[in-house]
Structure 1
Amino acid sequence: MSRPAQARIRLDHIIANYQLACSLHPAGQALAVVKADAYGHGAVPVAQALAPYAPAFAVACIEEALELRAAGIIQPVLLLEGFFRNDELPVIAEQNFWTAVHRYDQIQALAATRVAEPLHIWLKVDTGMHRLGFALDEVADVSRQLLALPQVGQVTLMTHFANADTRVTPGIDVQTQLTGLTEVAQALGLDMSVANSAALMVHPMAHKQWQRPGIILYGASPLDFDNQTALQLQPAMSLVTEVIATRWVQNGDSVGYGSRFVATKPTRIGTIAMGYADGYPRQAEEGTPVIVNGQRTRLLGRVSMDMMTVDLTDVDGAAVGNAVELWGSQLDANEVAAHCDTISYHLFTGVTRRVPRIYLTS
């Protein structure tokens, strides 16, 4: 391993963040959401680290669930998008996966399929997100249809919030999305799962039998404001590299593609081994923060495929081989994301496979 670009993953921080999530509603249980390769952190090592603590996991699809089973994860695994083909159902039953159901033809498929064991169905309810799910006035009838099938052993109601992460709601709010759903669940005697990371952090009304923490497991807050829980999160991924060259440019000299940066005074430039092929956003704006040799500095010029350039003018001890952090323990990923017109989820999941994941326990 010669090229210095790495994603260093603190598994102990992920465990601590999961335990923090659980402490927000100790009367309930928390699925550990490890979809999208654990938000870019590596689904198998993350699930293995959390296995002594988490009663169940959640992924997007059966391929992700089977990867966990092959790695020795024995807990139930929820398929958040449900099944796409009818021939997945026998595998779901055999492997003790739980599956979302969000449309009528999936109920028909269940009724027509022989399975080894009755399934735990997570009935998706559309409370205003308008992506997947049954309308609220359909839930009672649909749940009865499901529970009447020998292929179904248990039903849990699930919904997803559109705006739990924002202080000023631009559209439908959490309380509106929950209106009626809790009453329906109680009338039917069904467990509920409605709290994503943001709702778990700031909306106690959403705390039910099952919570679904995702991004907070990885140490990034989904909120557009700080709260006490956000301040306790521990970043799990540090995207790091090194300075591989330095040079001085003079007043009027430009740097990089498109000459986006033009020096207005003598400026020391550092070239670092990190680019958009590693997953660092090409759209990062001029001045995006970077940590070099433990000191805060800034991106200068455009991000290229394999390299980018930073300002070393005021960095003490600046030299080839200096450690560089693009986000992580010294620099909040949310701050970097704001300079890239994106979110921390996008940063984490965008780190490409040519960046080795190095797993640390302390």
Structure 2
Amino acid sequence: MRPLVADIDLDALRHNYQLACRCAPKSRSVAVIKADAYGHGALACAQALERDAPAFAVACIEEAITLRQGGVTTPIVLLEGIFSADELALVDVHGFWIAVHSQWQIDALLAATPSQPIPVWLKVDSGMHRLGFAIEEAAAIWRKLSAAPNVTALHLMSHFATADLQDSRYFNQQMARLQGLANELDAPLCLANSPATLAWPVAHGDWNRPGVMLYGSDPLEVANDITQQLQPVMTLRSEVIAMRELEEGEPVGYSGRWRAPRRSRIAVVACGYGDGYDRHARDGTPVLVNGQRCAIAGKVSMDMLTVDVTDVPDAVIGSEVVLWGRASNGVILPVDEVARYCDTISYTLLTGVLPRAPRRYHGRSA
């Protein structure tokens, strides 16, 4: 069988979730497992966290129903709410919680007759300018929902645009708007995403929403003492399938972008953009071969990539290759570092790993 696999460490996932809880001991932390748990497998991750997490969050009702069909009974919040009014029947059947961010959703909710009141998170646009009601109109909507018999557990929800940055000016503006509204309404809050959970205690509310940090990625512009405790959950692992000897000046791969600066040994690895590895990876993108740092040499192909292993004399056909994550000798290659070489972020790498790379689950939670 092709050696490429995405190893998923469920113990590391639980460690990272517990770290999020320790960051904000007075908050409850909803585990965000949208986008198939950022590419890690939503059902397996939910099952691993069920003992710890009081709620899960997904983007849409399809993702939530998949979890219910897999036997997950924990509350699930739909972060983008419903996409059509008829979804409210499924919300009622499965006991989902919903965010509301648009007037048509409010109208549909107030016209519905669910068998029991629906927990609702009212999304406010405090400065992200994506989803949510303007601060100026939120109070009236809050009061209307508060009086509705089919609404319960009402919370204010918003999203930060710059919580990952060291420059706090815009974050402080958003926080001030939200705190003023919450004080006016005496409303419980759900504000903190991963970076705010890790770096901004002022944003810790009744609920926090840790997402990418659960999977071991550091979302902050500059790491802090807490982010250094995160553990990688996914290791994208393969093997060397061929070796090449190149003379100085000889090219590798499409367009001959990389040329050997000396007599070089090149390892061909079973992983490419057909597996979800980023085609834009630059020459020099780090890779671990037998637990030693090497660099990509040449353009990534659909099924293969090539690595300069001149300085790894024990690299042979069958040697372990780690594209990101933890090697067998314990050395870690952070997905965030690989993402920088691809001019992207860890989210795109993790969610981009295709089913062609099978997930293999490990840990006491597996």
TM-score calculated relative to the size of structure 1: 0.97
Deviation at 1:28, TM superposition (A): 1.1
**SS in structure 1 opposite 2:142?**
helix
Whether 2:201 is the aligned partner of 1:204: answer yes
Which runs of structure 2 are paired with 1:160-179 in the superposition (5 Å)? Answer: 160-168=159-167, 173-179=170-176
Counterpart amino acid of 1:121?
V
Taking only the aligned residue pairs, the percentage that are identical comes to 51
Deviation at 1:316, TM superposition (A): 2.8
**SS in structure 2 opposite 1:228?**
coil
Is the 8 Å Cα contact of residues 147 and 154 (structure 1) preserved in structure 2? Answer: no
Whether 2:334 is the aligned partner of 1:332: answer yes
RMSD: 1.0
Deviations, residues 98-128 of structure 1 (Å, cap 9, x unaligned): 1110011111111222211111111000000
Alpha-carbon distance in structure 1 between the residues aligned to 2:106 and 2:83? 12
Deviation at 1:328, TM superposition (A): 0.4
Which runs of structure 2 are paired with 1:1-362 in the superposition (5 Å)? Answer: 2-168=1-167, 173-329=170-326, 330-361=332-363
Is the 8 Å Cα contact of residues 28 and 211 (structure 1) preserved in structure 2? Answer: yes
Deviation at 1:264, TM superposition (A): 2.7
Segments of 5+ residues of structure 2 without an aligned counterpart are: 327-331
Alpha-carbon distance in structure 1 between the residues aligned to 2:261 and 2:17? 48
TM-score calculated relative to the size of structure 2: 0.96
Deviation at 1:205, TM superposition (A): 0.8
Alpha-carbon distance in structure 2 between the residues aligned to 1:57 and 1:102? 19
Alpha-carbon distance in structure 2 between the residues aligned to 1:120 and 1:87? 17
Counterpart amino acid of 1:50?
L
**SS in structure 2 opposite 1:155?**
strand
Counterpart amino acid of 1:342?
T
Is the 8 Å Cα contact of residues 54 and 74 (structure 2) preserved in structure 1? Answer: yes
Is the 8 Å Cα contact of residues 126 and 177 (structure 2) preserved in structure 1? Answer: no
User: Structure 1 residues 251 and 92, CA, compared in 2 at 3 Å: closer, same or farther?
Assistant: same
**Any runs of at least 4 consecutive aligned residues in structure 1 with deviations exceeding 6 A, and if so which?**
none
Deviations, residues 288-315 of structure 1 (Å, cap 9, x unaligned): 0000011111000000000000011110
Deviation at 1:184, TM superposition (A): 2.2
Deviation at 1:187, TM superposition (A): 3.0
Count of residues in Structure 1 that have an aligned counterpart in Structure 2? 359
Deviation at 1:186, TM superposition (A): 3.0
Deviation at 1:357, TM superposition (A): 0.3
Alpha-carbon distance in structure 2 between the residues aligned to 1:357 and 1:133? 35
